[in-house]
Amino acid sequence: MGLPKIAPYRVPRGDELPDNRVDWRPDPKRAVLLVHDMERHFTGVFPPDAEPLSEVVPNIRALAAQARSAGVPVVYCAQPGGQTPEQRGLQLEWWGPGVTDPAQEAIIDELAPEPGDVHLTKWRYSAFQRTELRSMLREWGRDELIITGIYAHIGCLMTAAEAFQQEVRAFLVADGVADFSREEHDMALRYASRRCAVVDTAERFAQALVEPAAA
């Protein structure tokens, strides 16, 4: 029970990504960037100063900066600490009580939200479950979600799958997510690319926010 300690592994590069079924490209007028579960509680199980986070965190930071510059909303979702058994639900049996140290609730300093960013309290794997994310997208007139954060094969993949089922185009950032292992990271990318999302690098997604798709 609880989170595993994660061994270093090399994040997939652009020439190692699975083929996508569709050729979607994020549009700065339609997209929202999601930074998923980058709290200290979750990042603390990764090896310090090594991949995957040494690659993933700068990629998320650069993509978020480009999103803000392009007028794309940046949304952070994070679990609250001190959850009751009722709030925790089935996750209590699978992962334990969750965040118990208030100091571990904060987003890591390198990715700290900036003025104008949105913070959502997240209760389940998917960032859509029991949150205002879908209603926010409707209110903003946006129907694309660029997903970064951890863990790739759990919350990030579940969010991408649910986005698809909510008629929201999902984009999973291959080198902007981290996981328990390279094997599970690759599995998440393969599934997403074949079933519910477009998978690509942070650099390519950032470039798409600079160069809107041709009409």
Give the pTM. 0.96
Has residue 21 been placed in a domain? Answer: no
Residue 15 φ then ψ, to 5°: -85, 5
Count how many Cα atoms sit within 13 Å of the Cα of residue 62 in the half-sphere of its side chain. Answer: 16
7 φψ region: left (φ > 0), alpha (ψ -120 to 50), beta (else): beta
What is the domain-level CATH number for residue 32? 3.40.50.850
The answer to whether residue 19 is catalytic is no
pLDDT at position 214 is 52
Biggest CA pair distance of the chain: 50
pLDDT at position 18 is 98
pLDDT at 75 over 70: yes
Has residue 74 been placed in a domain? Answer: yes
pLDDT at position 213 is 56
Parent domain of 70: 26-82+89-210
Per-residue pLDDT, averaged over 170-187, amounts to 98
* Residue percentage of the chain with pLDDT more than 90: 89
Task: Give the N- to C-terminal CA distance of the chain in Å, as an integer.
Answer: 50
| Options 19, 27, 37, 109, the catalytic residue | 37
Confidence of residue 215 (pLDDT cuts 50, 70, 90): very low
Residue 164's nearest CA partner among 3, 17, 38, 24 is 24
User: 33 pairs with which residues across the strands?
Assistant: 74, 146
Has residue 9 been placed in a domain? Answer: no
Has residue 71 been placed in a domain? Answer: yes
pLDDT at position 37 is 97
Has residue 12 been placed in a domain? Answer: no
- Tokens 């969010």 sit at which residue? 159
Cis peptide before 52 (omega within 30 of 0): yes
Contact 111, 60 (CB under 8 A): yes
Distance CA 176, CA 12 (A): 10
What's the pLDDT tens digit per position in 97-107? 888 888 888 99
What's the pLDDT tens digit per position in 125-163? 999 999 999 999 999 999 999 999 999 999 999 999 999
Has residue 3 been placed in a domain? Answer: no
pLDDT at position 103 is 83
User: Based on the structure, what is the number of domains in the chain?
Assistant: 1
Query: Residue 57 has which token pair?
Result: 């965190």
Has residue 15 been placed in a domain? Answer: no
Distance CA 153, CA 84 (A): 25
Distance CA 84, CA 35 (A): 25
Has residue 14 been placed in a domain? Answer: no
